[in-house]
């Protein structure tokens, strides 16, 4: 049985989100895909429609093109698969098919055949699984039936991981917003204490400078904290319509 490789799910992540139970569940499923269909590679993609991108998050069998693991693919080579909810089965020259030729597993290996399964969770396409063959051999009905059944649990696992990742991002976003608010509040306090302005004037000052300089309010607030508010004028604290 071949070793399943798990790639980073996020560009900034230092470890794959397919850990623990997810890892233990995905690995044997991909190995089964190869064993039951006599294929040479299985490549699991997660889709990120808002970013118009996708990543290979796990693979087994023949390697991807160098440097492709975990890197986000964007544009037509991947987005053409986003709305697809039916499988694609090719037995000959899959490597030259416009739908697959730009994908990293096909750029590295001239796969003749592919079964490309859209992975659904809750009726939404969350990714795809490409099971590839190096030889021009027709897929048997039993093998195709097996792969179609395999797509159901893998889609559910991808959906569960994506949901956890989405929740994590929302928590991180909220944490950043709270941190930004604390920085702005601190800067407002300095302005009020040293210039004798009201809280409203202090807020408008930071907001007005943010608009003029086209910079985040956090950046302006940090400048006030570092340099002090002595350089500010009453004009800065007036409400702008």
Q: How confident is the model at residue 68 (pLDDT cuts 50, 70, 90)?
A: low
Taking only the tens place, the pLDDT of each residue in 131-162 is: 999 999 888 889 989 998 888 888 888 777 66
The least confident of 8-22, 80-94, 206-220 is: 8-22
Q: Are residues 45 and 88 in the same domain?
A: yes
Q: Are residues 73 and 161 in the same domain?
A: yes
Q: Are residues 86 and 17 in the same domain?
A: yes
Q: What is the pLDDT at residue 28?
A: 85
Q: Are residues 61 and 164 in the same domain?
A: yes
Q: Are residues 52 and 159 in the same domain?
A: yes
Q: Are residues 194 and 155 in the same domain?
A: no
- Are the beta carbons of 107 and 101 closer than 8 angstroms? yes
Which of 116, 145, 169 is the endpoint of a domain?
169
Q: Are residues 69 and 186 in the same domain?
A: no
Q: Are residues 145 and 31 in the same domain?
A: yes
Taking only the tens place, the pLDDT of each residue in 81-132 is: 998 889 999 999 999 999 999 999 999 999 999 999 999 888 888 899 999 9
Domain count of the fold of the chain: 2
Which of 109, 143, 169 is the endpoint of a domain?
169
- Six-digit token pair at 33? 């895909």
Tally: H helices and E strands in the chain: 6, 7
Q: Are residues 84 and 153 in the same domain?
A: yes
Q: What is the mean pLDDT of the chain?
A: 81
**Residues of the chain with pLDDT > 90: what percent?**
24
> Among residues 86, 81, 82, which one has the least CA distance to residue 98?
81
Q: What is the pLDDT at residue 22?
A: 53
Q: What is the pLDDT at residue 131?
A: 95
- Residue 186 lies in domain: 175-237
């Amino acid at each position: 049985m071949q070793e399943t490789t798990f790639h980073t799910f996020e560009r900034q992540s230092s470890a794959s989100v397919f850990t623990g139970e997810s890892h233990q569940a995905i690995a044997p499923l991909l190995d089964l895909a190869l064993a039951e269909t006599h294929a040479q590679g299985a490549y699991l993609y997660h889709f990120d429609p808002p970013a118009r991108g996708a990543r290979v998050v796990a693979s087994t069998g023949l390697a991807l093109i160098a440097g492709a693991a975990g890197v986000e693919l964007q544009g037509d080579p991947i987005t053409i698969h986003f709305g697809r909810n039916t499988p694609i089965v090719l037995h000959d020259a899959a490597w030259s098919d416009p739908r697959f030729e730009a994908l990293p597993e096909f750029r590295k290996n001239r796969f003749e055949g592919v079964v490309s399964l859209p992975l659904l969770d809750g009726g939404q396409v969350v990714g795809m699984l490409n099971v590839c063959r190096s030889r021009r051999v027709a897929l048997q009905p039993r093998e195709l039936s097996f792969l179609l059944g395999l797509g159901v649990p893998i889609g559910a696992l991808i959906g569960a991981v994506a949901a956890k990742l989405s929740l994590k991002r929302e928590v991180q976003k909220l944490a950043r917003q709270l941190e930004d608010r604390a920085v702005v509040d601190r800067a407002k306090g300095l302005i009020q204490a040293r210039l004798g302005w009201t809280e409203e004037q202090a807020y408008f000052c930071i907001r007005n400078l943010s608009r003029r300089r086209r910079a985040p309010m956090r950046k302006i607030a940090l400048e006030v904290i570092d340099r002090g508010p002595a350089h500010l004028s009453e004009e800065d604290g007036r409400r702008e319509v």
